[in-house]
Structure 1
Amino acid sequence: MKKWLNYLPTIFILSIVLSLVFYSSQGSTVQMNYTQFEKIVDEVDFKKSSMTISSTVIHLEGTYEQNSKTVGYKVIVPRTEKNIEKLEKSLQRNGGKLTVEDPNQGSVWISILSQIIPFLIIAVFFYFMFAKMGGGGNNKAFEFAKSKARVESNVKVRFKDVAGCEEEKEEVKEIIDYLRSPKKFTDMGAHIPKGILMVGPPGTGKTLLAKAVAGEANVPFFSISGSDFVEMFVGTGASRVRDMFKTAQKSAPCIIFIDEIDAVGRQRGAGMGGGNDEREQTLNQLLVEMDGMTDNAGIVVIAATNRPDVLDPALLRSGRFDRRVTVSLPDIKGREAILHVHARNKKLASDVSLANLAKRTPGFSGADLANVLNEGAILAVRKNEAKVTMTDLDEAIDRVMMGPAKKSKKYTEKDKILVAYHEAGHAVIGLKLEDADMVQKVTIIPRGDAGGYNLMTPREEKYFHRKSEFIAQITGLLGGRTAEEIQFGEISAGAVNDIEKLTEIAKNMVRVYGMSSLGPIQYADPQGNVFLGRDYTKGSDYSAGVAAEIDKEVRAIVDECHENCRKILTENKDLLDLIANNLYEHETLTNEEITNLMNYGQLTDPNVETSEEEEKPEQEVVQVPEIPETSTGVDQKDLDDAFNELTKKKD
């Protein structure tokens, strides 16, 4: 039936064309009255005529020849014996053919049907068109409560396609064994968890891991988003939950995957100004289906969220989501494995080291790493390269973290040297402070909202951070601002992002981690997001006096780090000037080049021998002139003279 409906528009168009042809063919026929026919009946030669005699009139139609042209005619003549005799003679004169039709042979019905059929075709066409667009109404009303879950019967994803989460794979292997052979579990008296809640930051592979479970078990995979349940009409979501589990029971054993379950599984009665009836009814139905009066044997529910703190407690109790699997950000080993998975279809050059790439991407999720390789491939295509090089991937990391380089944005000479000293300050702290992060790359090319960019990675990845490491992070973030103070005697607004980060670290040290003289007392909820209806009206956990003490402790930590930062930069002023000069000249320095500047005072290692072909003429490094200091800082006139001298040297 549906295939026939697809041809309906074509049939409609053909009927219109045929009708037009029919009526156009009739357009050459002359409709005469009796008087006009009387004038020509003795003057023209009739070729072919048809005569239908009824009780009162005679219907004539046919063709005649006049002035060497064939003309069609139609006429109605009164029925008399005289007219019948006259017409028989006239129409058959000079070889004309006359056909007498019987008026009782159904020609009337044919005439009526020929006029009705086009209108019937048009009516049927519009009826089915409206029904297909939703005008049917009744059918759509029943489909509105149907589940929107998408079903994949043959999932191709396997565990080999999921990297960087080996422990998480171990947690879900029992699910695979149960779906493959549930009898050995029931014989032992064990029952598999009815639900698995996957928790973790965005992009860590929760959905991919759920698909891999279905692929390894070779069972149908029902996937739906939490927002697909919630509609404007109360009760729709509950109906869709019932329909989803009813459909899944027919395909059991199977997996139902609910992505972003916090959209429908939020705590009941926690909304501002009252609850959400539709969402709460949907949640109630989900609770019943998972562990209620019905038995859904063979159905495993896997849900994913990055906000487990807002879920309803009834959803997390045993018997519903029995097991929680935390999918964390991958470590260095996991990142390398993820890069190998996503590099399968990439043409990589021989200089590409995925191990080094993994070291440079701490804190990246699986989705971020896939994006890095994809951006590198796009850059290689843009440059018309045969393979993706390490330079392309290096630029791809910067693009993912900070955005594309704004090479068209030009600094003034004053701004350029200011940014160079700012970034050099960060680099010196990273080199000289033991617990600070390692400097991987420094550039003064603008990216995103940042005037410069300093890529620093931890010396080793840790799960727990010591107080000294937090102090070192704050000191490193103060390096840029402090370098501006030492060199120019004034500060710029370029450190706004650094200040935001170090303030957050200092507050957490005092309020969350208990790393201050206030002792091991937590004065803040460690979860950062506010859940309206539960946290919005929640009062402070401490008094105004304690708040003042917290402010003092935060200020003391930052002041101590500031003084230490100033001391390190002052003691290493020559290294600060050297890095700033080279940054001003070359705009970008790598980890190797910065290390060579610290050890040998130049960008290259003098102990590494190079062939004559590889030797390049040494570039002159523009030295930043000394700026005289006064007791009150730097005079504006001296600053202008110094920059004028610098510009002349560069020219």
Structure 2
Amino acid sequence: MNQHVTTPPDLLARAYLDMLAADAGTNGSPMLRSENPNDQIEHLIRDLSTAPESAGRTSIRADLAAVAILVARAIEPVEELTRDLRRRNPVVVLATHGAEVVSLVQEVLETCAFGNECHVHDERNFDAAHYTRPVLLLVRDGTASDHKPERGNGAIARALHAGAPVFGAAPDPRRHLPRDLLRASEHDLSLAQLDASAIALVIEAVTGKRPNIDINDQLVRAVDISDLALSIRAGRSADDCVRRLETIVSNKSVFDHRGPSLEELSGYGAAREWGLNLISDFQEYKAGRLHWDCIEKGLLLAGPPGVGKTSFAKALAKSANVPLVATSVADWNAASFLSGTLTALKSCFTQARRLAPCILLVDELDGISDRTKLLNSEYREYWTQIVNLLLEQLSGVDERPGVVVIGATNHPDHIDPAIRRAGRLDRTIELGLPDAESLAAIFRFHLGADLRDIDLIPAALAAAGRTGADVEAWVRRAKSHARRAQRAVTMDDLLHEVRSGRTVLPENLRRACAIHEAGHLIVGVALEVFRPKALSILDEGGTTQFELSRANAQTERGIENFITALVAGRAAEEVVLGASEATAGAGVGSKSDFARATDAAVDLELRFGFGEYGVACFSDRITDLLLPDPSILGRVKDRLDRCHARARGLIQKNLETVQAAASRLEATGYLDRVAIEDLLKKWPVKT
């Protein structure tokens, strides 16, 4: 009667594990076990290896075991390849995950793949004359300068002529291995990703037992081969290894969801709206109710340093409950050679695909040069290869389902235009400096329970023009100062750090600023030039924030209304304080009220077709030549005087409203949109 024999899964992987264990002199139980002398498994063991007497270490390393399993899984499905590697002369190319596993792949291949009678050589010492069965093994991790297609082709030719097996392994064979090896290849293989069964088999190989508890999907997606060596060891139970692996993976930075969620962040405007929509789409995608094609897959965040581009990505990942893979162009360029840079770039996208759904943040994206600006540069070829690979990774949307790429940059105009084309990072959102309300919210977040019932607008006004990163630093220093003094932090501590010795506005100038901004407000509203957002008194002066109306912005009347609103600050000072007490603030700097009003008046005369010259539009050079003409200067002055007089008239007509707005602004330092609307309901503006 024939005895039925059940063949365990991963037959070749188990054989490889036994060979590695025998080579290392371990004393663990064999992975292939059978009591039947006619069992095909026993024949395979005898055919593939002869194990020496075991002694010494108790098990093989977990990371080596994992790579052995993956290499075996790549080879075993190819018919006869397992035996051909030992008896014939196949030509094989294997794509590995990344540079970090290449040396392990080499160890597995040398020990397991070719047989004991083979002599394995690399491209530098291949010698077919003195060995019965030479093997050419080219293993390149992509980090050396000679890991490129132009190197090693001579060795390929010699090995093929000698009838030797040729095996090449690299993270990116097309970029790292000899060109002729790829042309001659008969089998193009790639390492699969670790799955639950592979992890369980690693645990069995190291501990001698298979785990009884489930290995969840998130663990499988997030685990790196290097994690296995940290968590799976002989002497631990199989289940303990799983639990330890879960702990190590959960502590990875990609799952670090400390810090605020996107819903808690302030001052992100359109970026916040985009992020909230993505969070909703991620939820639907993970639930299987939304196809990946329907989701925006790329965003370019632009803005000055410190506005929170990285914080945005972290908060978005937290709210979406997905991993965040964070990298930068500087990280890629840390490699010594171009091949290493390309490997690092590709590895980030590979990791992101493995962790999908996730967010991939690429910081300092402007660090990749624009090829159009390197036409005659010696670095053009270098950067072209980097840009091309990045475009390849960004364009492969179908190959990275679940991966949303966010690029961050301080200089969007420095980025190669191809990166921003449709299907890549085709959506750009500018992050500006936070306004007073946003700054107050950022202060509140970093202060936590400190100053719980204190209005933080004064600190926000003192911090105008600065970033969330600045706020974090100020709060940290203020808390440190209070801690050394052994007391609770105060608003004075905070303002001291924010101002850093900068003096506050004197009382008389604070009063003038309040009147000045109230003048802008009342005239702007009366002429429907803008919709007010906020009035502020800062340490260096006042400011009016508004949304400019576009309804009449292109007409002569509309532009004159804008000029009138610009000069209304000085007009209010003259009416309320008297001409002799008016300040010079309206004329300080190239962006001052007077400068902008004068530019608009000149444009009306010489560019927009509303002046004495009719529809002529003069260039800057001609305008500079014409302006000294007394007749032109006179017309510009007349227009400005007319607008100034009109502003004074509106201030006089609405004097009570101006004074009410100025008094509130002087007292609080800040009026938001709601406060302005309430004030104008009580004191309506007369036109």
TM-score by length of 2: 0.44
Q: Give the alignment's TM-score, normalised by structure 1.
A: 0.46
Structure with max Cα Rg: 1
